[in-house]
Amino acid sequence: MDEIMKLEIIKNFKSRNINVAFFETLEDVKNRIIEMVPADCSVGIGNSKTLKELDISGILRTRGTNVFDKTLAENQEETIRMKKKSLLADWYITGTNAISKEGHIVNIDHSGNRVAAMIYGPDNVIVVVGKNKICDTLDDAVQRVRNVSAPMNARRAGYNPPCLKAGKCVDCKTDERVCFNLVIIEGQFAKDRMKLFIINEELGF
Ligand code: SF4
């Protein structure tokens, strides 16, 4: 990532009250999260391939932090409880499906718990994203989440919507649909509540 692009991204997100930091590696982000998040707090975790690679839930739990990560639930009842508890955690840590250089954060979401916590509830939100998800414009970011993120997430989660075969979104209305929510975060009311960590690696989808 060149310095001019970084400055453009920082400026555009800052104008929307979102704080941006750049990191070289996932390991650097892990260390920063451990530094920032107090041990004696609650943390909600958004389902994310990138965060899974970090094992951030395991690391925070080892410190005694109260972690709500639905992917660690042992049954459906616990999954629902974790998702609801995440909405009121002190911190929320999540990946995202795309950002635009203009300053948007764009996500597709199945049931909506992840985007709900990003928008309101936790006082601090950390969004982790690899450089492969940086798009030039909002339109490009929306195209990305529909045509790249949705099918790949569907495959990961064991769903079979038509975009898997078509290789692009066909605006389905099937029971296999994985993108009931398409959410564009335009900015934050609470300044610096949201911290965007951009990593100089290709991560997730
Ligand atoms: S609407 Fe259907 S086809 Fe389009 S991305 Fe979502 S799941 Fe895939």
Q: β-pairing, 66-69 with 42-45?
A: parallel
pTM (two decimals) = 0.95
Q: Tell me, in angstroms, the distance from the centre of ligand 1 to residue 37's CA.
A: 35
Q: How far is Cα 34 from Cα 82, in angstroms, rounded to an integer? A: 21
Q: Which atom of ligand 1 is nearest to the CA of 174?
A: 2
Q: How far is Cα 167 from Cα 56, in angstroms, rounded to an integer? A: 31
Q: How far is Cα 172 from Cα 187, in angstroms, rounded to an integer? A: 29
What is the set of domains in the chain, with CATH numbers?
A: 3-199 (3.40.50.10420)
Q: Which atom of ligand 1 is nearest to the CA of 172?
A: 2
Provide the pLDDT for residue 49. Answer: 81
pLDDT < 50 regions, the chain? none
Provide the pLDDT for residue 170. Answer: 95
Q: Nearest C-alpha to atom 1 of ligand 1 is from which residue?
A: 171
Provide the pLDDT for residue 1. Answer: 82
